[in-house]
Amino acid sequence: MIKGKLYINGQWIESCSGKERDILNPFDASTIAMVAEGNRDDTKAAIKAARHAFDQGGWPQTPASERAKLLFKLADFIERDREEMARLESLDTGKTVEESRWDMDDIAGIFRYFAGLADKDGGEVIASPNPDSTSTVIREPVGVCGQVSPWNYPLLQASWKMAPALAAGCTIVMKPSEITPLTTLKVTELAEEAGFPAGVINTVLGPGPEVGAELAESDDVDLISFTGGIATGKTIMRAATGNVKKVALELGGKNPNIIFDDANFDLAVDYALNGVFFHAGQICSAGARVMVQSGIHDRFVEALRQRMERIVVGNGFDEKTQMGPLISAAHLAKVKNYIEIAKNEGAKLLLGGTRPTDPALQKGYFCMPTLFSECANDMRIVQEEVFGPVITIERFDTEEEAIERANDTIYGLSAGFWTSNVDRIERVSKALRFGTVWVNDFNVYFVQAPWGGYKQSGLGRELGKIGLEEYTEVKHIYRNY
């Protein structure tokens, strides 16, 4: 049995709540770990440690190249322990080990990318109205950062925050999702081994409304970075007003994948699947809303149905498995409820909507790949984030109609479309109101490219150069000689 503690000011400690939480394996609901359940007092202690490390501990003054060395070391350790960490992530989330291995490779790359950027920005000299003066613009670390992450990509999402914050010279208090803390604990251990000074990195486990809320409310936190649902994001934004801290939000998505008649048919079918069935559809950029032009609609839907029927559902540790369980009993109930809503709204169920029949899968939180056709723009199943292995199909006739409908949503995280018409590529990619638009592809991420949402899908950007800048303040220094 894995035991997990809190990491505050360079010490592994029990929570002052005295409580522990069982961490469950979504495959069979068995207990895989017992971890300390932190509370507001633990969080206050972690913030104090991060504050001290920032204000007196010398972390922001440490040369960027030295901070980078530690980040490179951490990346090496992640690579060294890749298999163990991938298996831990799969145990905690149910996703296939192969997917978790990709995550670990990405994560090592993310630490290396931000390590490489850490010492590259030397500031800028700008024109000054006074010839006897010099004006420079420099970037300085924001300060103490609270970092709250979700359960779907636990360490990947945490690394998007952790790596740039540390590279910029900030100190951090990480709060992983209470149901998937294991790889965040592991990366904290590796950071300790790499030699990050006490107080620079703190990890507090525990419930969002206690640990996360304290981070959002505290006057000693300078920035709160959050990835999760829209409702929680709004709560955090309100809580952050006390000291007008910076707020970075990566929220939900309902992402259209538009297939025009002139698309490469086979590739579009492949990617309509790839767009959704990673981690059983529990991905913020899942292309769960597939829109198909009339000329190919029936053939496309049938091809998709046949491919979905063949998805191998099972234990993420079995190399043949293509899709594992959902994260929890509560989440399974939510997805099943959406399936009922869709049926009542008049969507046509073509596949799935049930649990698997295999006796070996009965204890886990499984939902079979589910396909609805004849969906309309105003249905809840089309407008709301289901976060499960469910695809809805909408039929459309014209390009204008596709754009108008795709944009008719509160979300703006990502969208994709498929066409061989070069003029259309230009028109549609500019007309779609989303933070990322994929053309003839779907769900392509890489650390150099900024990620974030338009509209209610978020505030600010992660990854890329801008992902580092989010953790900096801009200072203008005017020198009159």
Which residues here bind ligand NAD, judged by CB under 6 A? 148-153, 157, 175, 177-178, 208-209, 212-213, 216, 227-229, 232, 235-236, 250-253, 284, 385, 387, 413, 453, 458
Cβ neighbours of residue 319 closer than 8 Å, sequence gap 6 or more? 97, 98
Judged by DSSP in three states, 146 sits in strand
Rounded Cα gap, residues 397 and 380, in angstroms: 22
CA 167 from centroid of its chain's CA atoms: 19
CB of 84 to ligand NAD, least distance (A): 23
**How is the beta sheet containing 472-480 ordered, strand by strand?**
124-126, 133-141, 472-480
CB of 450 to ligand NAD, least distance (A): 11
CB of 141 to ligand NAD, least distance (A): 23
Cβ neighbours of residue 235 closer than 8 Å, sequence gap 6 or more? 213, 216
CB of 63 to ligand NAD, least distance (A): 31
Query: CA nearest 114: which of 53, 67, 56, 45?
Result: 67
Q: Which residue type, as a one-letter code, is found at position 93?
A: T
Q: Which is nearer to ligand NAD, 67 or 175 (CB)?
A: 175
The torsion defined by the Cα of 59, 62, 68 and 73, in degrees rounded to 10, comes to -70
Backbone phi and psi for residue 34, each to the nearest 5 degrees, phi listed first: -125, 125
Rounded Cα gap, residues 431 and 278, in angstroms: 27
CB of 433 to ligand NAD, least distance (A): 15
CB of 214 to ligand NAD, least distance (A): 8
Provide the token pair at 121.
């920005």
Q: Which is nearer to ligand NAD, 169 or 412 (CB)?
A: 412
Q: Which is nearer to ligand NAD, 226 or 366 (CB)?
A: 226
Q: Which is nearer to ligand NAD, 152 or 225 (CB)?
A: 152
Q: Which residue type, as a one-letter code, is found at position 160?
A: W
Rounded Cα gap, residues 322 and 96, in angstroms: 7
DSSP state of 196: P
Rounded Cα gap, residues 411 and 455, in angstroms: 6
CB of 217 to ligand NAD, least distance (A): 9
Query: CA nearest 470: which of 479, 460, 480, 478?
Result: 460
- 475, 60 Cβ separation under 8 angstroms: no
Query: CA nearest 148: which of 54, 60, 249, 46?
Result: 249
CB of 252 to ligand NAD, least distance (A): 3
Provide the token pair at 340.
């009922």
- Of the candidates 37, 89, 214, 250, the residue annotated as catalytic is 250
Q: Tell the residue number behind the tokens 């592991």, with chain if given.
A: 186
| Cα distances (angstroms) measured from residue 407 to each of 28, 260, 267, 399, 410 | 39, 16, 24, 12, 8
Q: Does 250 participate in catalysis according to the annotation?
A: yes
Query: CA nearest 288: which of 407, 415, 478?
Result: 415
Residue 37 half-sphere exposure toward CB, CA atoms < 13 A: 13
Q: Which is nearer to ligand NAD, 96 or 147 (CB)?
A: 147
Query: CA nearest 144: which of 189, 200, 66?
Result: 200
Q: Which is nearer to ligand NAD, 39 or 373 (CB)?
A: 39
Query: CA nearest 284: which of 80, 443, 129?
Result: 443
Q: Which is nearer to ligand NAD, 397 or 441 (CB)?
A: 441
DSSP state of 346: T
CB of 239 to ligand NAD, least distance (A): 7
Q: Which is nearer to ligand NAD, 54 or 153 (CB)?
A: 153
Q: Which is nearer to ligand NAD, 458 or 467 (CB)?
A: 458
Query: CA nearest 394: which of 297, 252, 280?
Result: 297
Catalogue the active-site residues: 250
